[in-house]
Amino acid sequence: MRIIVAGGTGLIGSALADSLAGSGCEVTVLT
């Protein structure tokens, strides 16, 4: 699954992006 995380460099966004990537998702982070 492809997911875009807006605000992915913040505290919650970075944890969310790491969790999603760990579960096998393709994550794109927007700052």
Reported as a single tens digit per residue, the pLDDT across 1-31 is 999 999 999 999 999 999 999 999 999 999 8
* Residue 13, burial from CB neighbour count under 10 angstroms (0-12, 13-18, 19+): middle
Whether residue 2 contacts residue 24, with contact meaning beta carbons closer than 8 Å, is answered with no
What is the structure's pLDDT at 16?
A: 97
Whether residue 28 contacts residue 4, with contact meaning beta carbons closer than 8 Å, is answered with yes
Residue 5, by phi and psi: left (phi above 0), alpha (psi -120 to 50) or beta? beta
What is the structure's pLDDT at 26?
A: 98
What the block records as the tokens of 8 is 């992915």
What is the structure's pLDDT at 21?
A: 98
What is the structure's pLDDT at 27?
A: 98
What is the structure's pLDDT at 12?
A: 96
Place of tokens 């579960």: 23
